[in-house]
Amino acid sequence: MTLYIVRRLLWAVLMLLAVSALTFVIFYTLPSADPAALRAGRQATPELIAQIRHSLGLDRPVYDQFFIYMKNLVLHFNLGYSYQNNISVRAEIASRLPATLSLTAGAVFVWMLIGIPVGVLSAIKPRSLLDRVAMGASLVGISAPVYWLGLVALFLFASDIGRIRLFGGAGSYVSITHDPRAWFSSLILPWFVLAASFAAFYARMVRGNLLEVMGEDYIRTARAKGVSERRVIVRHGLRAALTPVVTIIGLDIGILLGGAVLTETVFNIPGIGRFAYDSIVNSDLPAIQGTVLFGAVFIVVANLIVDILYAFLDPRVRY
Amino acid sequence: MTNTIRRTAPRMTAGLASVALAGIAVLGLGSGAAGAASHAAKRGGTITVLSAGDVDHIDPGEAYYSFTYEITYATQRTLLAYKPGSVNAVPDLAASMPKVSPDGRVLTVHIRKGVRFSPPVNRAVTSADVKYAIERGFDTSVANGYVGAYFGDLVGAPTSPTHRVPNISGIETPNATTIVFRLRHPSGVFVGALGMPITAPVPASYARPFDAETVSTYGLHQVATGPYMIKNNASGSINGIGYQPNKLIELVRNPNWNAKTSWRPANADEILFKEGFQDPTVMTRQILSGSADVNGDTPPPPAELRSLLSNSADKKQLVFTPTGGSRYIALNTRKAPFNKLAVREAVAYVLDRNAMRLTRGGPIDGRIATHFIDPSFKDKGFDQAGGLAFNPFPSANFNGNVAKAKQLMKKAGYKSGLYTGPQVTMVADNTPPGSNTAEVVAADMAKIGFKVKTISVTHTTMYTRFCNVPKSEPNICPNVGWLPDFHEPQTVLDVTFNGKNITSSNNSNWPLLNNPSINRAMDRAERIVNPNARYAAWGRIDQMVTRTAVAIPWLWEQYPTLFSSRVTPSTELWNGGSPDVTFMAVK
Amino acid sequence: MGTAEALGMAQPGGAWVPGDEPEIASRTQWQLFWERFRGDPVALVALGFIVLEVLAAIFAPLIVRAVAHPPNAQYPNMLDPRFGTPTGPSSKFLFGVDSVGEDVFSRVLYGARVSLEVALVATALAVLFGVLFGLIAGYYRGGIDTLISRVIDVTLAFPVLLLALGIASACSLGRGCLHGLIKPGLTTVTVAIVVINWTYIGRIIRGQVLSLRQKEFVEAAHAGGARDWTIMGREILPNLVAPIVVYTTLVIPQNILLEAALSYLGVGINPPQASWGEMIAQATPIFNSAWWFFAFPGAALLLTVLAFNLVGDGVRDALDPRMAT
């Protein structure tokens, strides 16, 4: 077992290295804004730009730049400095982490709270009105683009421009330490919008799983043995139906922690997703590297945890 | 001014007289309110400024953007500075206006006593600090963008950027409060340049270690001489404290600022610049609801302006300011087909400037431009350029004249009046309103047969990778424009249309115009010390440049600034309508 | 696999009287599938909607000529002359105009072309590559499997949207990437989608192939001297049809949304070409007042994705009646 874990860990590290390299390759070739020219300001002479290029290390061969970057990363945890404003990428990510965490944690909470019970109830009473309405709403939830839903939500409920002024609008995010109330109000709409598609997905998945499980033989046996329906569902059905859900939640959280780009953009939340998008658009290579790596770490870690959990539960998996 | 290189809304100004819409609060409010505010205003409170983007550079020696200036001029004292409703520089750090020698080559400035740096430097400002501030602009680690253009004529100034801070012999400091500038040639505009941020003092011994790095980090450790300072820690660093890039800039009072030495009221105790507001509607709503006080770099969108102007209470909080510059379409004259005059003239005729202005909001956005010196210059070049009457490519209602355009195309050799050559390329903004303007241009050019291939990129990329780089420049750069660096017509024509100012990167002469007679006229005009003669010369140059149709001006912009009802308004006429936080007050 | 059985064969345990047996037509799996699908009214309606949409997209030029205006033509006179703000739905402009005065109705119609092309072409290509590489990896195992699997793993470790953004950004400038092979616009978006998508199905197919190749019929074919590619094509591939179909139906709506997201973020389709995502992005600054400009493209996107989801549900249910709801 430990051997398996060790092997997976090693592989995880290797993957992150590969992700770094791949990021470098993709974004290095980005023929976008020239960082040396950006720094140089107006009327810069070619010599000046060459100077700055040299100081930023941009005139070195690619593999050299990559090696220096990796060395800094591994030895000093230094993610480099943004081309835009010379700020430490690591510090920037750290300062934006609370916003992304707030968004992710709240959204997960909301979609679990809605998605799972809805899925269970729909499965218990298939084809009922509740089921149809819930599944219909779920379908809409997974079909609507999140930024469009965000605009609709703002259009209807934003406290500054909405038809019914209820919750904080775009750009109203403040950190929880600053003003808990405003923080909460500013995140309600983003939470629900982000959770919508996930809740829908989980509702459908839970419903499908539970229905399938309920058709299994051992459920029939339990019923035949006279176990109450409620016990049947809760004790036997749910456990089997929810196990795959747990793993997928882990993966989804991993993905979201890398930053929900679209939601953060629509609601102007200063999180990591937004930072990633801004850096890509500005060809800010160090910032891109940092944010992509950050996101990849969470994905890889989530996968790792899930794999290890599975290995615990099912020894066959450890090949 | 180069703020057109950044973000969405480079501020442009239109003529004072052009604000013909009924009941719009005009810039008269700016100076009037400034006067009233400085006497009766309450002290204290916090002012919040909202912006979409960040400053271009936090280092005052690098700053070259109207939004950045809102912070720079609140925290730094330049030799000369501007009061809100004015375009004429008055002494700030200087004790009085500079004395200019009769031949125009020597300027003597005395600096005030009693001006001190903020913590942690704390000591009194001396002339050596101003000398160092200007010299460091030539160092590659600072790389100031205008120091070559306006200070390059100092005796001993380097001809290209240097690896260390140079010692410029032409800046003499005979004593601690006197600076003597020696120029190689006489200049009528050097005085104006003394109002630029590079003249704000920088303590040499404190700054040298930062400037010694490849890219100077003085900006993150800067000290202030103005009424406010960027909040820092005990060792002087503002990074993560008063300066959180793309998020927040916090100004607090400078404890070492002596109100008796300054004409700035500095009413508020604290000023917060909150950044990242990409949605101008949200920004506007926040200001109207009072949760913020003014827009810093983005105007309220046309839809909001429409509702604001229909409400008399809201109207009072809106101030329109001419920006003094113009927006134009640049045509690359180094490549076919725009190397031919007749083809360029055809484009000048076919463009529907009215539709283009509509993409930015229509008449409230300013007058349609017919040449480059804008109406706010009045008799300082605008009248001399022919004023409103000078319109070499007229059309009814500025909607464009397709017939005349086709005629010109025929003259250029296209028998049918329609272009028959290969595709032409255009690099445009990928966000509104720049993207919309570009779409209109492409549609108009299609009327004379041009198939325009549009490449949409971010505003910054459009400049740094394409339009500013002659080698990669497309045929058309539709989203360019220029603001005056200070109130002299030279500053809107020289950098942008003089052949000697073409550089191989970060170039601002987008049409790549290199016309010997125009170049000669400009070089001569730069040396004219007598103002009237100077304005007459630049007026003529404006006409010459406009007639070449290498760039087609289409807007003399006026910029709307929206204030919340809890503050007294104050806008910088010299800075495109940006709010002047040192004159605003919380009611 | 069901092979059609001859009619009227002897049933064990009963006397056979010629002519009095009802015709028992046994059905192929596909016929079963189609019957089940046919019995699902919601899926049928959704399919109908998609067919209609495809037709509308194909005949867009005719429709537009009849009731609307060319999608890239600008009508600045439809903008408020004082503020430049667009006007809403009217009899001449069914869905109103956008901020440069273009007909929103026409652009929504032409936008369908982009979304449908992505749905079909990009997905098809992604599935093609995924199946191909999954087959190779699962069948040959060993070194090549390790290589392909590792490539899949690394690609999957990338935050999806960032990877798509990166590729799209890199190729959306100037002459595009790979020396102009991948031009900005639809091609770039397609490439980005393919690069991301093939990994998911590759993994699934690989898993399936790994287990399938152990089965007896494969061994038998091997023993019979059949070549690898024949085995892969004749024996294994037919068994993969179900997961391929299921996966495809799952991923088409996702890809439509992905293209729209990329266009919304400014790296996909650019003006003047019409794309629903790009239209929503353009509408965002004025969505508060010009509601039609974001409502109609958004609704079109929603309905299209919804339809594909419903059809997907119907297909999956029809393939596996145990899961039928």
Chain A residue nearest residue B465, CA to CA: A33
Q: Of chain B residues 90-109, which have a CB less than 8 A from chain A?
A: none
Q: A27 and C291 in contact by Cβ < 8 A?
A: no
> Minimal CA–CA distance to B531: which of B329, B326, B408, B381?
B381
Highest mean pLDDT among A109-123, B50-64, B388-402, C179-193: B388-402
Report the gap between the CA of A271 and the closest CA in chain B (Å): 11
Would you list the DSSP string of B101-149? PTTS-EEEEEBPSS-BPPTTT-SB--HHHHHHHHHHTTBTTT--SSHHH
Q: What angle do CA C51, C56, C61 make, to 5 degrees?
A: 155
Residue B559 near residue B403 (C-beta atoms within 8 A): no
Q: Which long-range contacts (CB under 8 A, 24 or more apart) does A46-50 make?
A: A46/B503, A46/B504, A46/B505, A47/B160, A47/B161, A48/B140, A48/B143, A48/B160, A48/B161, A49/B505, A49/B506
Of A52, A86, A170, the CB nearest to B279: A170
Residue C270: inside a domain: yes
- Contacting chains of A (3 CB pairs or more, <8 Å) are B, C
Residue C25: inside a domain: no
* Identity at C204, one-letter amino acid code: I
Q: B432 and chain C: CB distance < 8 Å anywhere?
A: yes
Residue C5's pLDDT is 34
Contacts of B430 in chain C (CB under 8 A): 266, 270
Residue C41: inside a domain: no
Of C72, C83, C270, the CB nearest to B456: C270
Contacts of B469 in chain A (CB under 8 A): 34, 37
Residue B551 near residue B510 (C-beta atoms within 8 A): yes
Helices C291-319 and C29-38 cross at an angle (nearest 10°) of: 130
* Identity at C78, one-letter amino acid code: M
Of B144, B214, B286, the CB nearest to A41: B144
Q: B140 and chain A: CB distance < 8 Å anywhere?
A: yes
- Burial track C55-79 (b if 16+ CB lie within 10 A, e otherwise): ebbeebeebbeeebbebbebbbebb
- Contacting chains of B (3 CB pairs or more, <8 Å) are A, C
Per the prediction, chain C carries an average pLDDT of 81
Which residues form the domain of C132?
Answer: 48-78+95-318
Which of B163-177, B402-416, C153-167, C176-190 has the least mean pLDDT? C176-190
Q: B469 and chain C: CB distance < 8 Å anywhere?
A: no
Q: What is the pLDDT of residues C231-281, one digit of tens each?
A: 777 777 888 888 888 888 888 988 898 888 888 887 777 777 888 988 988
Residue C23: inside a domain: no
Average pLDDT over residues C89-117: 89
Q: C162 and A145 in contact by Cβ < 8 A?
A: no
Q: B151 and chain A: CB distance < 8 Å anywhere?
A: no
Q: Of chain B residues 242-281, which have a CB less than 8 A from chain C?
A: 279-281
Per the prediction, chain A carries an average pLDDT of 80
Residue C16's pLDDT is 56
Report the gap between the CA of C191 and the closest CA in chain A (Å): 14
What's the full length of chain C, in residues? 325
Chain C residues with a Cβ under 8 Å from any Cβ in chain B:
72-74, 76, 79-85, 99-101, 172-174, 184, 266, 270-272, 282, 284-290
Residue B587's pLDDT is 87
Residue A270 near residue B247 (C-beta atoms within 8 A): yes
Residue C24's pLDDT is 66
Of A76 and C134, the one with more pLDDT: C134
Residue C8: inside a domain: no
Average pLDDT over residues A205-214: 81
Residue C177's pLDDT is 66
Q: B430 and chain C: CB distance < 8 Å anywhere?
A: yes
| Torsion angle, alpha carbons of B155, B159, B161, B167, to 10 | -20
Residue C227: inside a domain: yes
| Domains identified in chain C, total number | 1
CA distance A281 to A301: 27
Bond from prior residue into C272 cis (ω within 30 degrees of 0): yes
> Minimal CA–CA distance to C285: which of A281, B326, B298, B460?
B298
Is 50 exceeded by the pLDDT of residue C3? no
Place of tokens 């820690």: B233
Is 50 exceeded by the pLDDT of residue C130? yes
- Burial track C234-264 (b if 16+ CB lie within 10 A, e otherwise): ebbbebbebbbbbbbbbbbbbbbbbbbbbbb
> Minimal CA–CA distance to B296: which of B585, B11, B586?
B11
User: CA–CA distance from B466 to each of A66, B96, B462, B505, B510 (Å)?
Assistant: 27, 44, 5, 9, 10
Interface with chain B: mutation pick from C82, C102, C262, C278, highest number of B CBs within 10 Å: C82
Residue C183: inside a domain: yes
pLDDT band at C19 (very low <50, low <70, confident <90, very high): low
Contacts of C274 in chain B (CB under 8 A): none
Residue B190 near residue B155 (C-beta atoms within 8 A): no
Tell me what ipTM this predicted complex has. Answer: 0.81
CA distance C279 to C257: 14
Q: Of chain A residues 20-59, which have a CB less than 8 A from chain C?
A: 22-23, 26-27, 29-32
By the 10 Å C-beta count (0-12 exposed, 13-18 middle, 19+ buried), A228 is classed as exposed
Residue C32: inside a domain: no
Residue C42's pLDDT is 85
Interface with chain B: mutation pick from C83, C188, C288, C293, highest number of B CBs within 10 Å: C83
Q: B143 and A31 in contact by Cβ < 8 A?
A: no
CA distance A16 to A70: 11
CA distance B143 to B214: 11
Q: B295 and chain C: CB distance < 8 Å anywhere?
A: no
- Biggest distance spanned by C-alpha atoms of chain B: 74
Tell me phi and psi for residue A146, to 5 degrees: -65, -30
Average pLDDT over residues C24-43: 77
**Token pair recorded at residue B338:** 């725009």
Bond from prior residue into B337 cis (ω within 30 degrees of 0): yes
* Mean pLDDT (10-residue bins), chain B, 587 residues: 30 28 32 42 90 88 91 96 93 95 91 94 95 93 84 90 90 95 91 95 95 88 96 91 89 95 94 85 85 90 84 83 93 93 95 92 91 93 93 93 94 91 89 87 93 82 84 93 91 91 83 95 90 94 96 94 93 92 93
Report the gap between the CA of C203 and the closest CA in chain A (Å): 15
Report the gap between the CA of C54 and the closest CA in chain B (Å): 28
Interface with chain C: mutation pick from B356, B430, B473, highest number of C CBs within 10 Å: B430
CB pairs under 8 A between B and C: 91
Report the gap between the CA of A75 and the closest CA in chain C (Å): 23
Contacts of A8 in chain C (CB under 8 A): none
pLDDT band at C4 (very low <50, low <70, confident <90, very high): very low
Q: C166 and A300 in contact by Cβ < 8 A?
A: no
* Residues 6+ away with beta carbon under 8 Å from B201: B77, B93, B117, B125, B126, B129, B130, B132, B133, B225
Of A248 and B557, the one with more pLDDT: B557
> Minimal CA–CA distance to C114: which of C57, C56, C47?
C57
Average pLDDT over residues C12-30: 61
Chain B residue nearest residue C288, CA to CA: B281
List, in sequence order, every residue forming a beta bridge with C97; answer none if it has no partner: C103
Chain B residue nearest residue A35, CA to CA: B464
Is 70 exceeded by the pLDDT of residue A29? no
Question: What is the domain-level CATH number for residue C219?
Answer: 1.10.3720.10
Q: What is the pLDDT of residues A162-206, one digit of tens each?
A: 778 888 777 777 777 778 888 888 899 999 999 988 888 888 888
Q: Of chain B residues 309-368, which have a CB less than 8 A from chain C?
A: 352, 354-355, 357-365
CA distance B380 to B304: 35
pLDDT band at C15 (very low <50, low <70, confident <90, very high): low
Contacts of A22 in chain C (CB under 8 A): 154, 158
Q: B465 and A161 in contact by Cβ < 8 A?
A: no
Of A219 and B583, the one with more pLDDT: B583
Of B276, B464, B504, the CB nearest to A33: B464
Report the gap between the CA of B314 and the closest CA in chain C (Å): 17
Chain A residue nearest residue C321, CA to CA: A212
Q: C74 and B443 in contact by Cβ < 8 A?
A: yes
- Dihedral (CA of C203, C205, C206, C210) sign: positive
Q: C305 and A144 in contact by Cβ < 8 A?
A: yes
> Minimal CA–CA distance to B320: which of B102, B22, B66?
B22
